[in-house]
Amino acid sequence: MDKKLFVISGSSGVGKGTVISNFLKRNPDFMLSISCTTRKMRVGEVDGVNYFFLTQEDFTTCIENNKFLEWAEFAGNYYGTKKKYIFECLEKGKNIILEIDTKGALQLKEKMPEAVLIFICPPSLEVLENRLRGRKTEDENTIKKRLDEVREELKRAENFDYKLVNDDLDTAVIRLEEIIKGELNAQR
Ligand code: 5GP
């Protein structure tokens, strides 16, 4: 396979979506994988663009029929990447970016060891904690739960190929580009 899968994960609130969309603007030849999910569509989202929105029943059928390359439960909803979708993208000769959670990323790495896992970290747990408290939208219990989740994710990130800190957006995008181009050059 001469095209690569780049899997990007990061704790919630770390701004990974913005880093990825800025990267894609500068590198339009990369494809962003579209995942399946059981969560409700948010305002402005479009089926088949942001996600393929599935019922719980359809999602379960896909799991039973082994249709997913990886899947995970996240905050009470299911998310997964279809095998067929990824193989079709690779056949088209595209490098693919997947934005998925850390559990899914590690599952995928087991099946496709050539996939490159990149974790986007917050500048520090304290900064993230202050951001969460600053929003004043969550109660203390929820904040504690979110921070526990972040600690778990940071542990899983120890098994990733790269970590990059999103302290300054432009620097993070350039660092992501360096990692990806370095990997692509290494396989030539
Ligand atoms: P959101 O509901 O905010 O769009 O996404 C919630 C979380 O689900 C994010 O951490 C995102 O990376 C993760 N996610 C999105 N698609 C997938 C997927 O296909 N597989 C897995 N494992 N996680 C996903």
**CB neighbours of 162 closer than 8 A, spacing ≥ 6?**
116, 117, 118, 119, 179
Q: Which of 85-94, 133-142, 163-172, 179-188 has the lowest mean pLDDT?
A: 133-142
Condensed to tens digits (0 to 9), the pLDDT of residues 42-72 reads 999 999 999 999 999 999 999 999 999 999 9
| Displacement of CA 149 from its chain's centroid (Å) | 15
Q: What is the mean pLDDT of the chain?
A: 92
CATH number of the domain where residue 127 is located: 3.40.50.300
Structural domain count, the chain: 1
Condensed to tens digits (0 to 9), the pLDDT of residues 128-144 reads 888 778 877 778 888 88
Q: What is the pTM of this model?
A: 0.91
**CB neighbours of 122 closer than 8 A, spacing ≥ 6?**
11, 13, 14, 128, 150, 165, 166
Atom of ligand 1 nearest to the CA of 105: 22
pLDDT at 37 over 50: yes
Atom of ligand 1 nearest to the CA of 9: 12
pLDDT of residue 2: 67
What's the mean pLDDT in 84-91? 92
Out of 14, 79, 119, mutate this one to test ligand 1's pocket (max ligand atoms within 8 Å of CB): namely 79
Task: Provide the pLDDT confidence category of residue 105 given band limits of 50, 70 and 90.
Answer: very high
Task: Provide the pLDDT confidence category of residue 1 given band limits of 50, 70 and 90.
Answer: very low
Range of the domain at 174: 5-186
Out of 100, 103, 106, 146, mutate this one to test ligand 1's pocket (max ligand atoms within 8 Å of CB): namely 100
